[in-house]
Amino acid sequence: MNTNSIQTDAPSGAGRFDIRHISTEQLAQLGMQQIAYVKPVVVNGTAAFAIHAADGTPMAIAGELDVALAAIMQHEMVPAQVH
């Protein structure tokens, strides 16, 4: 087993790269499909929780933290909370 290689979700092996020679772009993509973060926000004067992809792309708004976390896990992602 080669422990210096990472497999991404890209088709036909195109997503495999050597972590000893990782590019800035490849580093930026690590975890993109697996991690989402939640941060508290105010929407129309009401407290809510924004769900964002690892790169900061907004994905959803939830009224409760537990709902936001459940939505992330339901989509087979790992939640990270931002304060």
**Residue 26, H or E segment:** helix 24-29
Host domain of residue 45: 31-83
Same domain, 20 and 35: no
Query: Exposed, middle or buried, 22 (CB in 10 Å: 0-12/13-18/19+)?
Result: middle
Per-residue pLDDT of the chain (83 residues; tens, 9 = 90+): 444 444 445 444 455 667 677 777 766 666 667 888 999 999 999 999 999 988 888 999 999 999 999 999 998 888 886 76
Residues 82 and 50 in one domain: yes
Q: Over the stretch 33-53, which tens digit does the pLDDT of each residue have?
A: 788 899 999 999 999 999 998
Query: Which of 23, 35, 30 is CA-nearest to residue 80?
Result: 35
Q: Provide the domain count of the chain.
A: 2
Q: Are residues 20 and 37 in the same domain?
A: no
**Summary count for the chain: helices (H), strands (E):** 2, 6
Does 38 share its domain with 70? yes
